[in-house]
Amino acid sequence: MSKSGNLTIVLQAGGESRRMGRSKATVPFLGEPLIRRGINRLLPLADEFIITTNEPENLDFLDDLVELGKIRLVTDEYEQRGALRGVYTAMNAASNEYVALVACDMIFPSRNLISAELEALIEEGADAAVPKTTHGYEPFHAVYRRSSCLPLIHEATEAGESRANGWFDKIEVAEFDGQRVAQAEPRGGCFINVNTPEELADAQERILTGKIAEREEFDS
pLDDT by residue (tens digit) across 4-31?
Answer: 569 999 999 976 677 788 889 999 999 9
Domain assignment of residue 215, yes or no: no
Domain assignment of residue 132, yes or no: yes
**Residue 185 maps to which CATH number?**
3.90.550.10
Domain assignment of residue 214, yes or no: no
Residue 204: its H or E element: helix 197-208
Domain assignment of residue 177, yes or no: yes
pLDDT of 147: 98
* pLDDT < 70: residue spans in the chain: 1-5, 15-16, 216-220
CA angle 218, 70, 126 (to 5 degrees): 70
Domain assignment of residue 59, yes or no: yes
Quick one: CA dihedral 145, 150, 155, 156, positive or negative? positive
Supply φ then ψ for residue 166, to 5 degrees: -70, -5
Domain assignment of residue 73, yes or no: yes
Query: What is the domain count for the chain?
Result: 1
Domain that holds residue 164: 7-208
pLDDT of 5: 63
Domain assignment of residue 218, yes or no: no
Domain assignment of residue 217, yes or no: no
pLDDT of 22: 83
What pTM did the predictor assign?
0.93
